[in-house]
Chain A
Amino acid sequence: MSVSRKEVEYVASLARLDLLPEEKESITQQFNVILDYIQRLKELNLSGVEPTTHVQQLKNVFREDRSEEKGRELLPEVLEEAPDSARGLFKVPPVIEEES
């Protein structure tokens, strides 16, 4: 199984990475080496094996429905980290996505 450059480009757009041409090239190559190694999994007989999504046996971990206000205290520290903000809001470029 090998991955084409086009697939790499699709994945990059899903991941919101604006890869440079040479990055696409090297990632396509490395992908194929890594995926080749990963093929080992295919040699296993995994039919009937339950997937492990959590290693623990924990179930029903809940929080009691109690509220606590933290926002006002937190806001100055949070906004200070914002690349751009105005009137207590986070500012971003217009949400009009270009078709690429």
Chain B
Amino acid sequence: MSHEYEIIIGLEVHAELQTKSKIFCSCPNSFGQKPNTNVCPVCLGLPGSLPVFNESALDLALKAALALNCEISTFSRFDRKNYFYPDLPKAYQISQYDFPVARNGYLDVVKEGETIRRIRIDRLHLEEDAGKLQHDPSGSSSYVDFNRCGVPLMEIVSAPDLRSPEEARLYLESLKRILLYTGTSDCKMEEGSLRCDANISLRPVGSKEFGAKVEIKNMNSFKAVQKGLEYEVYRQEKLLREGERVYQETRRWFEEQGITLEMRGKEEEKDYRYFPEPDLPPLNITAERVRKIRELLPELPVQRASRYIEEYQLTPYQAEVITSSQGLADFFEETLKGYRDAQKVSNWLLGDVLKLVNEQGGEIGVLSFQPVHLAELLSLLDEGVISGRTAKEVLEETFQTGKAPREVVQAKGLVQISDEKSLLNVIDKVLAENKGAVEDYTSGNKKALAFLVGSTMKHTKGQANPQLVQQLLRQRLDG
């Protein structure tokens, strides 16, 4: 990337709130139902129907807002945003315009455990989601499914503080962590419960004025956001270099082609004619409500990570990965209650445990593999009851069956052979069978010892204590 132009990016994130029912009616807030079956007169916008605001939607939005260090508005209200589109049954969206529930927050963007930048959040407001359109491949018709209408959304608008496409992606990752932590949104981009539009402009380095702002839509993953913005940087930079103009417009990201193209039609009118929603009385968000929600706020990922570094001497990288999900971090802390060595827990957790979790495709904490299991496994290792290799086997078994590691070790006869007498029998056999190696060893090739340890382990099917085997072999050979 050149140093001629400064990149200015702002993100608008829409996150569905995890309520039980929709924002203005009692239809379930659920995904994947048969078209137009999760609807009622209110979310269908039928003539005569009226909205009633779901209190949980407010509380979840406030929780997210507090986690994003926002100021909560004492006075807030809903407004109507008027525009025509077939997925919007009332032809207006109930949203918030000049009195959002929260403003002026910030989010610390984290990269490999280090906070790299503080990004300001302009506002956080509530609104209702629209339905979904399906298009006939022949282009002759479109079809509307209103199921998603009225799902509660919060829109989180960042200030134009992001300075690179990578930063934009990292911002989203940090934001997602916070929303997951606070339990406000499940952030499933593939199901559309988290969506992101970006505004990007370039300006000559040192310039104070903003360049023409281009809005990019349809980026359906964090990677797509980065790639879309990277393409846009390239495109705008090329135009500017060639002395051409960048037009303010809305462009759509095409993932397969890896390009953005101007969107026609839909955005021609930005005259939304906002006005206060007469069907909904305003909100007075009391200090008492805010206090109660603040009490429910969990320790957030950034705080948690720095505590891990401080308290457990984890590396920033370890701390970031462990705190990337609340479930993982909880698992980590829970394990430490039964086993002290945080470094070992972290190594196992980030290594073999996560590998198995990913293979099983589940979520840590909800699988049958529990923190007590990991603590027990590590203790068995320390006690010398099992070898590292056996431990991996036990781990897998516990993952499959949910049986405690001690039980697995007993049942499968995996207890390490630490009995010198029986080991010496095996060793004598091994020495007799490997005369060549013995000679190599005595003639000074110390690597032959490793071979002999390996052979002994093989004979015991890995159940021998390797330290003990080595010690006994030396006694025999050197003695």
Contact = CB atoms under 8 A, between A and B. Distances in A.
Q: Is the A/B pair a real complex?
A: yes
Nearest to B83: A14
B131 to A, nearest CB: 9
A65 to B, nearest CB: 4
Given A63-B26, A92-B86, A92-B141, A87 B77 contact: no
Contact of B54 (A14, A65, A72): A65
A53 B282 contact: yes
Interface string B287-304: 000000000000000000
Contacts of A98: 265
Contacts of A64: 55
Given A60-B283, A62-B53, A71 B39 contact: yes
A70 interface: yes
A94 B56 CA distance: 37
Given A67-B29, A68-B27, A96 B20 contact: no
A74 interface: yes
Contacts of B413: none
A74 B265 CA distance: 34
A93 B143 CA distance: 9
Interface stretch (B30-38, B63-71, B102-110, B116-124): B30-38
A60 to B, nearest CB: 6
Contacts, number: 137
Contacts of B280: 61
Contacts of B46: 78
B36 A88 contact: yes
A62 to B, nearest CB: 4
Q: How large is the interface on A (under 10, 10 to 19, 20 to 34, 35 or more residues)?
A: 35 or more
Contacts of A19: none
Contacts of A95: 85-86, 133, 135, 142
B140 interface: yes
B44 interface: yes
B324 interface: no
B38 A94 contact: no
Interface stretch (B232-240, B247-255, B270-278, B339-347): B270-278
DSSP class of B's interface residues: helix, strand, loop or mixed? loop
Contacts of B52: 61-63
Contact of A61 (B133, B144, B264, B281): B281
A12 interface: no
Interface in B63-95: 77, 84-86
Given A90-B36, A92-B141, A78 B44 contact: yes
Nearest to B39: A71
Nearest to B131: A90
B27 A89 contact: no
B311 interface: no
B201 interface: no
B139 A65 contact: no
Contacts of A94: 135-136, 139-142
Interface of A: 13-14, 16, 53-54, 56, 58-72, 74-75, 78-79, 86-99
Given A65-B54, A70-B39, 15 more contacts: A13-B269, A53-B278, A56-B281, A66-B21, A67-B21, A67-B26, A71-B33, A71-B37, A74-B40, A86-B143, A87-B143, A91-B143, A94-B142, A95-B142, A98-B265
